[in-house]
Every structure is written in C-alpha cells, then in structure tokens.
Amino acid sequence: MSEKVENISDQVMALDNGVSDLVKQEMQGAFNVLASSFEERLDKRMDEKEASTRIKVPQPPKFNGSRDKKEINNFLWCVERYFDALRVEDDAKKITTASMYLVDDAILWWSCRQTEVKKGLCQIRTWDEFKVDFKKQFYPDNAEEVALKKLWELRHTGTVKNM
C-alpha cells in the first residue's frame, strides 16, 4: 500500500510541477502584456511632457473665402509652416487640419466638396490635390490681369528729394 501511496504522491508532484509550469507561463505572458502597456503609457507621458516644454506653435489664420491671391497664398503658406512645425506628414491629416481653419464662404465650399467626394463625383486624396482644388475655387480668374493693371496704374506722387 505504501508503494501505491508513493506512486500517487509522485503523480501528484508531477501534476503539480506541470500545472506550476503552465501557471508560470501564463503569469509570464500576463506580465509581458502589462510591461508593454506600462511602457507605452510611459512613452506617451514622456511625449506629452516633451510637448508641453516645446515652443507654442501659432495657429494659421482663418480663411474666409476671399478671392484675393495674396490672402490665399498667405493662408496656404501659414498652414504648411504649421504642418512643418507639428510634423504633420499624412495627407488626410493635412486636409482635415486645413479645413478646420476655413470659415464663411470657404467652409461652405469645403462642405459641398466633401459631399461631392462622398458621392464619388470628385476625388481629393492628397494635400496637393486639395491645394489645386482650393486655388481653382478661390483664385480670381483674372488675377494676373489685375496685378498688371495695378502695376500700370502705379503713379509717383510728390517730389524726389536729392540726398
């Protein structure tokens, strides 16, 4: 009988060691998941802390849809500098971000454009496509003629003093 007890005891020990190894593996897996999650959170907090110590980037001006070539170019230039400062490289993010600075007639245009995109009537997938469409909509048709006319109408008034 004592031999049977020893045999059963050995089997229980072997079973206990097998379960123990399985539990150790499960615990190691859980630990790895927790460690990874903790590391991601720590990285995120470090990024947030780093971001709070950075120079504040001024936001680009709002664009209201005026058909002034200078205002259009300035808006696009400021938005692109904003993207550079924030390291925005994804075209979809650029388009979404730029559209948040559109107001009045410009946001109305963009709303209509988005509806057309959803219906498949047009495509605006890249930042460059957005800029082309944007300029096409808001650049005055005769911008070059207006600039030349202003140049021709320039008149000197007053006197020229010799120094």
pLDDT value for 67: 87
71-107: pLDDT as tens digits: 999 999 999 999 999 898 999 999 999 999 999 999 9
**pLDDT beyond 70 at 62:** yes
DSSP letter, residue 161: P
Domain presence at residue 154? no
Q: Is residue 60 in some structural domain?
A: no
Residue type, position 127, single letter: W
Q: Percentage of the chain surpassing pLDDT 90? A: 32
pLDDT bin (cut points 50, 70, 90) of residue 130 is very high
Where do runs of H (alpha helix) occur along the chain? Answer: 2-53, 69-86, 91-99, 104-119, 127-138, 143-152
Count of the separate structural domains present in the chain: 2
Residue 156 lies in a domain: no
Q: Is residue 136 part of a domain?
A: yes
Same structural domain for residues 86 and 112?
Answer: yes
75/107 same-domain check? yes
pLDDT tens, position by position, 139-149: 877 666 667 77
Q: Residue 72 in contact with residue 138, Cβ under 8 Å? A: yes
Same-domain pairing of 73 and 39 = no
- The sign of the dihedral angle between the CA atoms of 65, 68, 73, 78 is negative
Host domain of residue 107: 69-140
Q: Do 94 and 47 belong together in one domain?
A: no
Is 61 contained in some domain? no
- Residue 131: the pLDDT is 93
Q: What is the pTM of this model?
A: 0.56
